[in-house]
Amino acid sequence: QVQLVESGGGLVQPGGSLRLSCAASGSILSINAMGWYRQAAVKQRELVAAITMGGSTNYADSVKGRFSISRDNAKNTVYLQMNSLKPEDTAVYYCTGDVVTGWVPYAKINYWGQGTQVTVSS
């Protein structure tokens, strides 16, 4: 009844930029924190960036100064602007959101998208 769908991944050269989007749809009352995680081959999933409903953000040290997270609450969408990309940024990127559902008992449930591949290579 709630879906998160990412878009914007692809192949980019080192130093390039990509913008990821994640749109939530379904029976949604509100979305608290939203974030982006990534998982590279043979590595654990790690937090990239997160943003609260009020706009407070935090970032992994490895992406500070290069990535920027933002959201449009009216569209239930979160974005990740990725600049100065490096080969080590190659991973599947997942978005997540703490959704307050629109049906009784209006529970807060953590949802995940299906992931989008980002490959940084020359």
Q: In terms of DSSP bridges, do strands 10-12 and 116-120 run parallel, antiparallel, or are they unpaired?
A: parallel
pLDDT at 104: 80
- Give residue 55's region: left, alpha or beta (phi > 0; psi -120 to 50): left
- What tens digit of pLDDT does each residue of 37-59 get? 999 998 999 999 999 999 999 99
**Residue 105 pLDDT greater than 90, yes or no:** no
Among candidate residues 14, 3, 20, the one with its CA nearest the CA of residue 92: 20
The whole-angstrom separation of Cα 98 and Cα 101 is: 9
Q: Taking residues 64-82, report their average pLDDT.
A: 97
Residue type, 85: L
Torsions phi, psi of 11, nearest 5?
-100, 130
Nearest of 27, 37, 22 to residue 100 by alpha carbon: 27
